[in-house]
Amino acid sequence: MKRNRSTTLWLSYTGVLVALQIVLGNLVQIAFLEKQMNLGFLPIAAAGYLFGPVSAMLVAAMGDILGTLIFGTGAYFPGFTVTALIVGLFYGWIMFPRYQQWINRIFKNPVAAIAVRALLAALLAAVLYLFLNSYWLTFFISRGYWLILLGRLPFNAAEVPIFAALITVTCLALNRLPPALLLSKTAKGSGKDQLGDADESV
């Protein structure tokens, strides 16, 4: 019964987060000269924080594929899905409370620990997006790789503190969810940076 409940919650959260990723990644856009900023990273980070890398990868990949098919103006390109999968992996690896315990040991304050995790995740994601997506764009833009990369660099760098702040706020909000809506075995009295079991609990 407990496992059925966990599976139901996991499926429900994953479905909602995929839908949010599609909407925030495709309908909420801030256009810049070289790239567009969107909020599609937030559901991926939330999946990583709640459930770990596998869920974050699933939300990232399904959001990219379905978002392209629903809203895309061109043909689907798998390279961007590869980037999304890797970003999801690292979001889950860094944000999931059970991992990277050295951060919790250094930063005793749970809010500070979440903020540091968010900053590391946003920084690593920015590097992955910068190098990988710049390469994928060479298939569509008649410019050299390094020219595309250098053009995108200032915007990726500017996104890091914004993404880190928004991820921190989102994870703190997730901590306020009722225990009945979490898969957590550690939600009771284990600190505000402990939310859920890993994907293997599903």
Whether residue 175 is predicted with pLDDT greater than 90 in this model: the reply is no
Q: Is residue 14 within 8 Å of residue 54, measured between CB atoms?
A: no
Q: Which CATH class is domain 2-193?
A: mainly alpha
Whether residue 76 is predicted with pLDDT greater than 50 in this model: the reply is yes
Distance CA 61, CA 158 (A): 24
- Predicted local confidence at residue 73, as pLDDT: 61
Q: Model confidence over 138-168: pLDDT tens digits?
A: 998 888 999 999 988 988 898 999 999 999 9
- Predicted local confidence at residue 38, as pLDDT: 84
- Predicted local confidence at residue 33, as pLDDT: 52
Q: Model confidence over 186-197: pLDDT tens digits?
A: 334 334 444 444
Q: Assign residue 92 a region (left: φ > 0; alpha: ψ between -120 and 50; beta: otherwise).
A: alpha
| pLDDT confidence band for 71 (50 / 70 / 90) | confident
Q: Model confidence over 16-51: pLDDT tens digits?
A: 999 999 998 888 776 655 567 788 999 999 999 999
The Cα-based distances of 173 to 75, 193, 195 in angstroms read: 37, 11, 11
